[in-house]
Amino acid sequence: MDTSSEPNAPDPTAEAALAAHEDGLLSSTTSGGIRPSQRTWSIGELARHFDVTTRTIRFYEQEGLLHPERRGQTRVYRDKDRVRLKLTLRGKRLGFSLAEIREVVDLYDAADGGGEKQLTRLLGILSDKREGLERQLHDLTTMQRELDDVESRAREALARLKTDD
Is residue 1 one of the residues assigned to a domain? no
Mean pLDDT by 10 residues, the chain (165 residues): 41 45 39 59 95 97 93 92 93 88 79 70 87 96 98 96 86
State the total domains in the chain.
1
Q: Is the pTM of this model over 0.85?
A: no
Side-chain-side CA neighbours of residue 115 (13 Å): 13
Q: For residue 64, which phi and psi values (nearest 5 degrees)? A: 85, 15
Is residue 22 one of the residues assigned to a domain? yes
What pLDDT is stored for residue 54 in this prediction?
96
Is residue 81 one of the residues assigned to a domain? yes
- What domain range is 82 assigned to? 12-123
Is residue 49 one of the residues assigned to a domain? yes
Is residue 85 one of the residues assigned to a domain? yes
Query: CATH no. for residue 45?
Result: 1.10.1660.10
Is residue 152 one of the residues assigned to a domain? no
Give the separation between CA 66 and CA 88, rounded to whole angstroms: 9
Is residue 38 one of the residues assigned to a domain? yes
What pLDDT is stored for residue 34 in this prediction?
41
Is residue 63 one of the residues assigned to a domain? yes
Instruction: Quote the DSSP letter at residue 27.
Output: E
What pLDDT is stored for residue 113 in this prediction?
54
